């Protein structure tokens, strides 16, 4: 794709190694322009690679000026990336055809480079450390704490006291609250033998980690895969989700359709009789954005390739009882899925 315009922060970062919250990036017949305002002048000139940095009080006006001067006839634009307002202003009276390419930047980012995989691995490692510290805290002081409290603590541990940005607000849900895939924290308090679901991640050099664990609250609470729950139903559901997740990871192959990976997980859950309680898709790509390509769902025809990075996160949600989700992020290496 030759001529395109971007303003999404992660999309622009991918192009030139620098980004900020007020930028228009143009790539026109191989000439690249990073247009931002004076606040970011020094950093942009220092860090943005392979592009000319232009400082402007009116980014749109400057972009239009460059477009007018250029001899291009077609410009690719992601209709998700521009508001109706900005799009209208941008193309007003320009003799250029705007060709809409939904998600073109995310599609460019579907295969990760070695250094991206390294950053993602580091993010996942830090994420595991954060989970471990959180488990230690719960062991020592968790009993009787509210979900809200635990939510704040999860943010603290996962961000290493604010050193790292979070990939998203963590989910910390006890018992019946874990049955809502995106629970908000309540005043419910943590008690012995409770089921606890934690979904959290952080960013390392802008790359996201993502992980979910479901654990039983006993003396040695931890976020490992081996969990012993109080009720038979909890244990059955947990073991089913675990089997589904592990099978999907071990059977995923380069060359497979993404929908096939979803099916591998889904069949295990179906067979155990919980099919209708697995209400979301099996996974999603992870990178600069927490939700990227490939989508691992029944409807996804994407062919899995080497160096793709995505989550495998089947779940079973029994309304008003409890929910279980187990999630890891994997990279395709040597044709197989490796947990990052």
Q: Which residues would be at the binding site for its own copies (CB under 8 A)?
A: 38-40, 42-43, 77-85, 87-88, 100, 102, 152-153, 155-156, 159, 161-163, 180-182, 184, 279
Bridge partner list, 331: 309, 338
Q: CB of residue 164 vs its own copies: minimum separation in angstroms?
A: 9
Q: CB of residue 83 vs its own copies: minimum separation in angstroms?
A: 5
Q: Residue 101 or 247: which CB sits closer to its own copies?
A: 101
End-to-end CA, the chain: 31
Q: Residue 154 or 265: which CB sits closer to its own copies?
A: 154
Q: Residue 137 or 333: which CB sits closer to its own copies?
A: 137
Residue 73 corresponds to which tokens in the numbers above?
């006839």
**CA–CA gap between residue 225 and residue 103 (Å, rounded):** 35
Q: Residue 83 or 334: which CB sits closer to its own copies?
A: 83
Of 195, 122, 197, 126, nearest to 159 by C-alpha is 126
Do the beta carbons of residue 197 and residue 324 sit within 8 Å?
A: yes
Residue 95 corresponds to which tokens in the numbers above?
């003799």
Residue 312 corresponds to which tokens in the numbers above?
């495998």
Q: CB of residue 326 vs its own copies: minimum separation in angstroms?
A: 18
Q: CB of residue 183 vs its own copies: minimum separation in angstroms?
A: 8
User: What H or E segment, with its residue span, contains residue 324?
Assistant: strand 322-325
Q: Residue 180 or 247: which CB sits closer to its own copies?
A: 180
Q: Residue 294 or 323: which CB sits closer to its own copies?
A: 323
From residue 150, give the alpha-carbon distance in Å to each of 123, 172, 297, 319: 22, 7, 31, 22
Q: CB of residue 256 vs its own copies: minimum separation in angstroms?
A: 26
User: What H or E segment, with its residue span, contains residue 184?
Assistant: none
Q: Residue 78 or 340: which CB sits closer to its own copies?
A: 78
Q: CB of residue 117 vs its own copies: minimum separation in angstroms?
A: 25
Of 96, 52, 50, 56, nearest to 77 by C-alpha is 96
**CA–CA gap between residue 303 and residue 254 (Å, rounded):** 8
Do the beta carbons of residue 81 and residue 8 sit within 8 Å?
A: yes
Classify residue 75 as left (phi > 0), alpha (psi -120 to 50) or beta: beta
Three-state SS for 239-257 is HHHHHHHHHHHHHCECCCE
Q: CB of residue 112 vs its own copies: minimum separation in angstroms?
A: 25
Q: CB of residue 243 vs its own copies: minimum separation in angstroms?
A: 25
Do the beta carbons of residue 304 and residue 332 sit within 8 Å?
A: yes
Q: Residue 36 or 240: which CB sits closer to its own copies?
A: 36
């Amino acid at each position: 794709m030759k001529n395109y315009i971007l303003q999404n922060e992660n999309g622009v970062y991918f192009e030139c190694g620098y980004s900020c919250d007020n930028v228009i990036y143009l790539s026109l017949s191989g000439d690249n322009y990073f247009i931002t305002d004076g606040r970011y002048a020094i950093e942009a000139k220092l860090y943005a690679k392979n592009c000319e940095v232009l400082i402007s009080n009116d980014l749109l006006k400057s972009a239009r000026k460059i477009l007018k001067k250029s001899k291009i006839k077609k410009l690719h634009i992601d209709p998700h990336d521009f508001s109706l307002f900005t799009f209208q202003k941008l193309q007003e009276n320009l003799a250029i055809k705007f060709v809409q390419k939904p998600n073109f930047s995310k599609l460019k980012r579907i295969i990760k480079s070695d250094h991206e995989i390294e950053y993602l691995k580091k993010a996942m490692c830090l994420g595991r450390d954060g989970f471990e510290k959180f488990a230690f805290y719960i062991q020592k002081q968790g009993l009787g704490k509210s979900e809200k409290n635990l939510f704040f603590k999860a943010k603290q541990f996962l961000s290493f006291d604010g050193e790292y940005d979070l990939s998203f607000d963590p989910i910390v849900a006890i018992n019946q609250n874990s049955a809502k895939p995106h629970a908000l924290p309540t005043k419910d308090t943590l008690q012995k033998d409770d089921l606890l679901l934690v979904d959290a991640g952080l960013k390392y050099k802008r790359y996201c980690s993502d992980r979910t664990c479901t654990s039983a609250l006993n003396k040695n609470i931890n976020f490992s895969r081996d969990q012993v729950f109080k009720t038979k139903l909890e244990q059955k559901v947990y073991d089913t989700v675990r089997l589904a997740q592990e099978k999907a990871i071990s059977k995923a192959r380069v060359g497979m359709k993404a929908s096939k990976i979803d099916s591998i997980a889904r069949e295990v859950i179906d067979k155990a009789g919980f099919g209708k309680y697995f209400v979301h898709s099996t996974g999603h790509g992870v990178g600069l954005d927490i939700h990227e390509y490939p989508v691992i769902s029944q409807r996804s025809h994407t062919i899995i390739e080497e160096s793709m990075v995505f989550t495998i996160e089947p779940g079973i949600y029994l309304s008003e009882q409890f929910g279980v989700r187990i999630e890891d992020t994997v990279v395709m290496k040597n044709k197989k899925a490796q947990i990052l």
